[in-house]
Amino acid sequence: MGGMSDDTSNSFLIYLMLSLFTLFEYLCFAAFIFFNLPKGTLRKIILIASPVFVVYTVFEYFRTQDSSIDSMTITVENILLIIFCMFYFFKEISQPQSVFIYSSYAFWVIVSILIYSTGTFFYFAYSDNLSDDDWHKWSIINHIFTIIKNILFGIAVIMPKKVNTLQSQEKQYPDQLFDPPPLNPL
């Protein structure tokens, strides 16, 4: 049955809080990715997927209230976030905005979302099948990836807001960005 304690007095409240947290986490992460993508098709996909996910979350909440964790909702959330992170990296590869991708705070936030979502994907996908003992034994996976996510968020916080963009490099060295500097005759 789901891995967490089956105390009936708190199970409803725990399930409600986990479902709300999953929804809030998804909306925050999806919004961050959305605002770091240029206007276009990728942003529209996020705009279409997000209301669908909200409806799915509400549906799953009412369908499985006897469960102790919303594992299917978390799994769908992870799949969507992994796809959205790939959108960001696709944009950075096809239309780079900075000289070094890792010099942007957005990169570190997206990497943390991606690492957390991929690292906990199978754990939450199978969490309905875990006994209480297995849940506590394997919860270290979630703890480790949460720590990694928070460390990467910390790196993002200390990154400068203004990054060295490719356009500023072109303005600073208009003729020397791709051509070698001219030789000075003696």
Is 97 inside any structural domain? yes
Is residue 13, in this structure, part of any structural domain at all? yes
Q: What pLDDT does 126 receive?
A: 86
Task: For 50-71, write each residue's pLDDT tens digit.
Answer: 999 999 999 988 888 766 778 8
Where residue 1 falls among pLDDT bands split at 50, 70, 90?
very low
Domain count, the chain: 1
Cα–Cα distances (Å) from 141 to 83, 146, 147, 158, 180, in that order, read 22, 9, 10, 26, 50
> Is residue 182 in a domain?
no
- Say if 185 falls within a structural domain: no
Sequence-separated (6 or more) residues with CB below 8 Å from residue 50: 26, 27, 30
Q: What is the pTM of this model?
A: 0.79
pLDDT score recorded for residue 135: 85
- Residue 49, in any domain of the structure: yes
Cβ 108 vs Cβ 152: under 8 Å: yes
What does the pLDDT average to over 97-104?
Answer: 78
pLDDT in the model for residue 146: 95
Of the candidate ranges 10-19, 80-89, 95-104, 130-139, the one whose mean pLDDT is the lowest: 95-104
Q: What is the pLDDT of residues 128-173, one digit of tens each?
A: 888 888 888 889 999 999 999 999 999 999 988 775 555 554 455 4
* pLDDT above 90: percentage of residues in the chain: 48
Instruction: Give the domain range for residue 135.
Output: 8-164
Question: Within a domain: residue 105?
Answer: yes
